[in-house]
Structure formats: structure tokens, C-alpha cells
Chain A
Amino acid sequence: MLFTSYKFVLFTALVILAYYIVPKKLQWPVLLVSSLGFYWYADPEHLPRYLGFLLITAVSAWVCGLLIGRADDISKAYLLEHKESLSKDEKKAYKDRVKKKKVLIMVLCLLLNLGILSVTKYTSFVITNINSFLKASKAIRIPDLIIPMGISFYTFRTLGYIIDVKRGTCKPEKNLFKFILFVSFFPQIVQGPISRYNNVAPTLFENHSFDDKVFFSGILRILFGYFKKLVVAERLVIAVKALSEDTELYSGGFVFIAMIFYAAELYCDFTGGIDITIGIAEAMGIKLEENFNLPFFSKNIKEYWNRWHITMGSWFTDYIFYPLSVSPRMLKLSKVSREKLGKGIGKRVTVYISCFLVWLATGVWHGAAWNFIVWGLMNFVVIMASGELEPLYEKFHKKFGLKKKKGYAVFEIIRTFLLMSMIRMFDVYRDVPLTFCMIGSMFVHPGLGSNGREAFAALGLTAADYGVIGAAVALIFALSTYKAIKGEDIRGRILTKFPLTLAVTSVLIITVLVFGAYGVGYDANQFIYNQF
């Protein structure tokens, strides 16, 4: 039962209805039962294993959170009681002992849950690579492991929680069932956002009275998500599939078309899915973090990664990049590199080492395949190159006064869009050497070839499809531009008048039903980010 099935729409409608009609104290239990029910209904055959993994993750983090919290409470009470009798050094030694204990609990929890994630998600990849070095007779059998639905997302949410509890920035949740709800909340189980406990818990567990503005705000967002997914992404996926499967026919200029089509498809698929997720939560008064902020309006790759899949980026920054970069060893290395290489590049050496490891981890997180790893490293290369070329850019900008020119800003936006779209091709062809070849062919033979017209017609979309996609993309672009200029979503204006709200809601429902891509040839049940 995935987001675009009728069953899911019906299920969600019933959950929202139940949420508002039960006594308020039963609202979050309704969500817990629904979330576990969603997990069951999504794949009843594998439920015991799915649920087993999810519960191990939730219970282990809950227990470890409580143990860390208890260690904190005991330490505070002890220090208060012995405030006068302990010397400064004794207090410091005691605090260090408590810190070590907390770190040990956290590390055990991280190892257990990263172990589950690694075994279920990466065993097959590792064995396949080992087998490629072994003789066929010595090949290791690949176990038939099932990857639990949404494991990367719920594991990261849980690990973020336990690290925050250890850091003291989050209080441990005492109620196990509330914590299981945080880990399993059904709208965000399959593709995020990777929420932080502190951000979600207040509205997830509080009581909500029905508020038509809040409700319709959520409904509008859900419908817009379906619009992006069903009207645009589900059409483009057909053309992208054709472009990536027949690489002999669709080389040269067709690679550029694949780049643009896949950028639009992925954007509408992923942001559409997140709109549905956030919209469902919003319709019940629950606030989830935003995962996108007009990513295709970014002027450079760093900005892009602050606007695209925001919760994943901030997760890697807070829990991997920072701890690595400011660890005593890295600080020591930074000092040495600055002394040996000079302040400029010496200062950046450790930042780049951490950055490399973060992008390697980001690639691995996206999938157990070389194309994802190379994709991650390509991002690192571009970020590093941009950093190193920055002084040169600055001089260039100053000399020609480019920073103040609007035309140059548009150029930067298009440049970033094209660069990111090109890197994303590793995701399309799923084969590293092939991707490099295809990108190369785009530059060597930029045209569509003598049979270009026929080949384009064979992509599987009709003129009407292109018309619908064009109109929909133009609308999405116009709404994004509105948000960029005004600094707020257009929903705010729509919601000020109830008749207008009803009219827009109706138009969106009709548009999705009439222009949504369903039926033969379409597989709307799969979201690209489900696989992660």
C-alpha cells in the first residue's frame, strides 16, 4: 500500500477521520495503531521480519535513551550532594567517568542499529563484490535478505535521537509507545523527512482540535504532491526508462534530454512524496520538518545541498561532519597541515577529509551500488573544486561587477541545475563506466542524429503527454517563483477565503484524476526514494 494507491488514500482518510473523532487523549494511540497497521498492510507476507527490525531499533534506542538519562540524573544529584566536598579535579574526573559511560551506551546502540542496517542493506553488495574477485567455484552464496521498508529513514531518525540524548540536547522519552510512534509514524516511514525528535514530538503527541484552516492547508499540500507525482513524474518516468535502457540509440544529445527529464521526474517524485507526507501530518495539526526549499533556484552546489533533502544533509552535517572535523585527531592534523602547507590550503585539508567521508557515507546511504558511491564522490569533487576556485571566482566577479547583475544570477542558477543534473545521471544509468561514456557522448555528439525525430517519438509519450507535462512544469515553476519572491507559499493566500479554498481543492482533485498518469504502462506505486 504505497502513497499513490487508492487503498492508501482511503486508509489515510480513515486515519484522519478517526484522529478527530476519538477522545483527544487517544489521538496519538490512533496514529501508533495506524502506523503499525500501515506497516502490516504494506507487505503482510514479511510483516514479522519488517516489524521485528523496526521494534528492535525502537526498543533499543528507547532503553539506551533512558539509561543515558538515568546516568545524567544520578550524576547531577551526586554533584549537587557533594558540591562542597569535591575538589574541581574530582568533579572533572567524575564527569569524565559519566561521559564515558554515556558514550559507551550510545556506541552500543549505534553499533546494533547500524549493524542491522548494514546487514540487511549491504550484505548482497559486499558479497557480490567479493565474488567478483573469487573463482566461480569459491563464490559465496548471497543470502536472501529482505530490506525492511524505510529502514534507512527510521534508523537515521532513531540514531539522531540517541546522539541528541547523549549530547543533552534532547530529553529521553519515557513512554515506549510514544517512542515507537516517533520511529514508525506512517506518512514518513518510506521516504522521510529524517525528523529530529525535538522538532516532531511536541505536535506529534499533543492533542489537536479540528481546525478547518489547518486541515485544508494539509489537504492542499497533499493534492499538490499527488499533482507533481501523478501528472509529471509518472509520465516522465516512461521516457527516462526508455532513454536509459537503449543507450545505443539514445546517446549524444539524448543524454541531455535524459538529464532534464530525470531532473524534473526526480524533483516531482521526491518533493511530491514529501508534500504528501507533510500534508497528511499537517491535516492533523502535526508539524514535520521541511525537506526542500526551492532547490533548483540554487546558485551553487553548497546552496543546492542546503535546499535539497535538507533533513538528510543536516543529519550528515550534525552527526558525522562536525564530530569528525572537530575530533582531537582532526584538530591535531589541522594544526600540522596549517604549519606545513600554510594557512590557506592547510586549513582546508581536514575539512576536505571530513567532507570526503561524509559524501562517501551519503553515497552508501543512498544505495548498495557503485553508482551511488561514485555519485556521492562526484558531489565531493565539485564542492572541493568550487571551494578551491572561489578566490578566482571572487576576482572575476569583482572585475566585471557580476554579483549585482540579475542576468548573472540566472546564469549561476542554470549552471548549478545543469551540473547537478549531470551528476544525477549515475542514478539513471546505474553503471559507472556507462554513465561516463554517455556524458562524454553528450559533449562529442551534441545533436540527436539523423533518426532523432523517430527516436524521440519512440520514447513512449504522446504530444498530449508533453503538453500536460509542459503545462504542469510551468505551473510548478510559477508557484516556486512566487514563493521565491514573496517568501511564502501561495497556500497562505488561498486559505484566507473559504470558497477559494474549496474551489482550488476541487480543481486540484479533478486535475489529478483527469491528468494523472494511471493504467497500462504506468507504475505509480513506486517512489524513487522508497528504495533508500
Chain B
Amino acid sequence: MEELIEILQELHSDVDFTTCETLIDDKILDSFDIVSIVAEVNDRFDVQIPAEELLPENFNSARALWALIERLGDE
């Protein structure tokens, strides 16, 4: 989770990713950010996030994104 926060912080250093639950709803992350995150996650965690998982509910918070990474990693 810490490594994920690090990835997110590299994109938006001014956002508190440990508490924010509205990263998509409040348009903090845009489509370019999401694609960058997917590439970083693929590199660092060896988890490939497919296009069908690029849903607002999976990216609204670092916690939700971490849950997605764990789920995909287990599959």
C-alpha cells in the first residue's frame, strides 16, 4: 500500500491519498493519470489491470485501488 501511495503522490504531491475517497468524483485523477497508474502498477507489482476494471469505483481511493491490485494479483 505504501508503494502505491508513492506512485499516486508522484502524480499529485498535494493530495492526501491516505484519506481521499473521491479521486474520480472530484476529478483529481483524470484519464491520463489512470493510464500512468496502470503502467506503474504493472511495473512494480507485476499486476495487469485490464480496461474493464478501469471503473470509477476502483480508482476513487487508494484503498479501493489497492483492493483491486490484490484481487487481480490473486487471480
A501 within 8 A of B: no
Interface size class of A (residues with CB under 8 A): 20 to 34
Instruction: Quote the shortest CB–CB distance from A64 to chain B (angstroms).
Output: 17
Within 8 A of B (CB), among A315-362: 317-318, 321-323, 325-326, 328, 331, 334-335, 338, 347-348, 350-351, 354-355
Q: Evaluate whether A328 and B48 lie within 8 angstroms (CB atoms) in the complex, with A321-B31, A322-B31, A322-B54 already known.
A: yes
* Residue numbers in A under 8 Å from B52 (CB-CB): 167-169
* Residue numbers in B under 8 Å from A321 (CB-CB): 31, 35
Instruction: Quote the shortest CB–CB distance from B22 to chain A (angstroms).
Output: 16
- In the complex, which residue of chain B has the Cβ closest to the Cβ of A324? B51
Give the size of the chain B interface in residues (CB under 8 angstroms): 19
Number of cross-chain contacts by CB at 8 Å:
52
Are A347 and B36 within 8 A (Cβ)?
A: yes
Q: Evaluate whether A326 and B51 lie within 8 angstroms (CB atoms) in the complex, with A331-B39, A334-B39 already known.
A: yes
Q: Evaluate whether A326 and B50 lie within 8 angstroms (CB atoms) in the complex, with A331-B42, A335-B39 already known.
A: yes
Complex alpha-carbon distance, A306 and B42, angstroms: 27
- In the complex, which residue of chain A has the Cβ closest to the Cβ of B31? A317
Instruction: Quote the shortest CB–CB distance from B52 to chain A (angstroms).
Output: 4
Within 8 A of A (CB), among B8-66: 27, 30-32, 34-36, 38-39, 42-43, 48-52, 54-55
| Best-buried of B35, B38, B43, B50 by chain A (most CB within 10 Å) | B35
Instruction: Quote the shortest CB–CB distance from B50 to chain A (angstroms).
Output: 7
Can you name 14 A-B residue pairings with CB atoms under 8 Å? A169-B52, A318-B51, A318-B54, A321-B35, A322-B51, A325-B35, A326-B39, A326-B48, A331-B39, A335-B42, A347-B36, A347-B39, A350-B35, A350-B39
A: residues with CB less than 8 A from B are 92, 167-169, 302, 306, 317-318, 321-323, 325-326, 328, 331, 334-335, 338, 347-348, 350-351, 354-355, 387
Q: Kindly list 6 other residue pairs between chains A and B, CB separation below 8 angstroms, not including A167-B52, A335-B43.
A: A168-B52, A318-B51, A321-B35, A322-B35, A322-B54, A326-B51
